[in-house]
Amino acid sequence: MIDLNASGKGLDGYELLAAQVQALFADERDFIANAAQFSAFIYHQVADLNWAGFYLNRDEQLVLGPFQGQVACVRIPFGKGVCGAAAATRQTQRVEDVHAFPGHIACDSASNSELVIPLVKEGRLIGVLDLDSPTLARFSEADQRGLEHLASIFLSLSDC
């Protein structure tokens, strides 16, 4: 059993979360298991989220993967909505007000802002990590950097 609060390194914020994510995946590389754990970890450790999870690249279409939150739409074409934009451009989408985003897909009406991080490994788009918040402009640049770092740790420690 890993004690996630016993790093003893005096870390805080995203540095602490990064150390915890390293520990969480130290002994397991299965992608689905780690993706499920990661979505639960993010959902419970990052404040003010109503949805956290994965959409996976299945033949140039995003298909729902492990997540925490309300039931969500299952398939999203590349280029559609915030997730589709992240997949098509391979650029993180940090959206302060999803209602002002062209083509936004409203899975959970509670969502007001969104951060979607493309997951690219060795040139391949594995999918995207999608985080939704009920608060407008929930995600700062520092949140984006911190969460991109956590996603990169997840990717490097998972087989895919």
**Which 3 state secondary structure label does DSSP give 31?**
helix
Closest contact distance (angstroms) between CB of 114 and ligand SME is 6
Looking at 1-9, 23-31, 103-111, 142-150, which segment touches ligand SME (CB under 6 A)? 103-111
What residues have CB less than 8 Å from 80, skipping those under 6 apart? Answer: 103, 105
Q: What angle do CA 94, 47, 150 make, to 5 degrees?
A: 60
Closest contact distance (angstroms) between CB of 27 and ligand SME is 30
Tell whether residue 52 is a contact of ligand SME (CB under 6 A).
no
Given 16, 63, 72, 157, the residue binding ligand SME (CB under 6 A): 72
Separation of alpha carbons 42 and 144, rounded Å: 13
Question: Closer CB to ligand SME, residue 20 or residue 56?
Answer: 56
Closest contact distance (angstroms) between CB of 15 and ligand SME is 28
**DSSP β-ladder status, 61-69 and 51-57:** antiparallel
Separation of alpha carbons 31 and 115, rounded Å: 21
Which positions lie near ligand SME, rule CB under 6 A?
A: 51, 72, 76, 81-84, 104-105, 107, 111, 114, 130, 132
